[in-house]
Amino acid sequence: MKKKKKNRTHLFFIAPGFILYTVFMMIPLAFAFYYSFFDWSGIGPMKFIGLGNFTKLFTSPRVSATFFSALGNNFKYLACVMLIITPIQIFFAYILYIKVRFHKYIRFMLFLPYVISTSIVGFFAIVLFDPNVGALNEIIGNLFGKAHKLAWLGDPNLVFKIFVGVIIWQCIGSGMMIFYANMQEIPEEIVEASVIDGCGEWKRFWRVVLPMLTSSLKTNITLSVIYAMTMFDLPYVLVGPQGGATGKLDFINMVFYRFAFGGTYFGETSIGFGSAISVVMFVIIFILTLVTKKLLKKLDY
């Protein structure tokens, strides 16, 4: 297809995307690193302070306590992904794969919440879990009396569980369908061989299907790591920008948001300090992605 004369037409096709992507995606990412070395509120002169922002983030008692407690929540959520959400997704995918009754309807409905905006999902959670007008408390009140009503989202011991429950409801479909698509690609011969060998469904799942899921596992974990480390919308909608009164739903991206854009509400705005938080998120995502890749490579052979 290549012509003899020097052909540069491909540049015409590449240029618009390249410029747009570089200017509004890659340069901002790079500049987050640059800004993180400065004390700068966004207006006025920039003052170079080296690693000062990072020192403040990790050691200043007031800030670092908030930051590490939020970071702990990010990892707590990531642990929930690995131990609860991903296994459920694989299980549901297998249920669809073996075509239980109504599997088409189930697949359609399980994925549906994923296309609904988080601000609406957050409202649904309020409809169910609000202490005053929520449906659950209304049911409890009618069945067992008012004394048994729960504070739900206002209860520091319950709020994280509700949050994970809402995410399971909203997001289970996406990972499930990635696993499901992967299961469809498992070669016919292997499945048939296991049938002939008299392998039961349960055994087949562990011996045949699960080991074939490495590629979708890699995709799902990478996506989950990014999602977990940039968690923002749902906790913000559920309990507000502070992560709730007890900070049980505070995440690093929300700490970032408060320092970067919440100046009017929280008294402190700093482009430099905010960028330092971005850089930390960047580094964590990078390391976790590398670790995932390494671990799953081992599984592959």
Would you say 8 or 61 has its CB closer to other proteins?
A: 8
d(CA 204, CA 73): 36
Would you say 115 or 147 has its CB closer to other proteins?
A: 115
Would you say 64 or 165 has its CB closer to other proteins?
A: 165
Contacts of 274 (CB under 8 A, 6+ apart): 256, 259, 260
Would you say 74 or 253 has its CB closer to other proteins?
A: 253
H/E element holding 243?
none
E strand intervals along the chain = 38-39, 47-48
Would you say 25 or 83 has its CB closer to other proteins?
A: 25
Minimum distance from CB of 105 to other proteins (Å)? 7
Minimum distance from CB of 7 to other proteins (Å)? 8
Would you say 106 or 158 has its CB closer to other proteins?
A: 106
Minimum distance from CB of 158 to other proteins (Å)? 18
Would you say 61 or 143 has its CB closer to other proteins?
A: 143
Minimum distance from CB of 37 to other proteins (Å)? 13
Burial class (CB in 10 A: 0-12, 13-18, 19+), 19: exposed
d(CA 64, CA 256): 12
H/E element holding 74?
helix 61-80
The one-character DSSP state at 186 is S
Burial class (CB in 10 A: 0-12, 13-18, 19+), 180: buried
B/e letters for 111-132, b = 16+ CB within 10 Å, e = fewer, are eebbeeebeebbeebeebbbee
Burial class (CB in 10 A: 0-12, 13-18, 19+), 277: buried
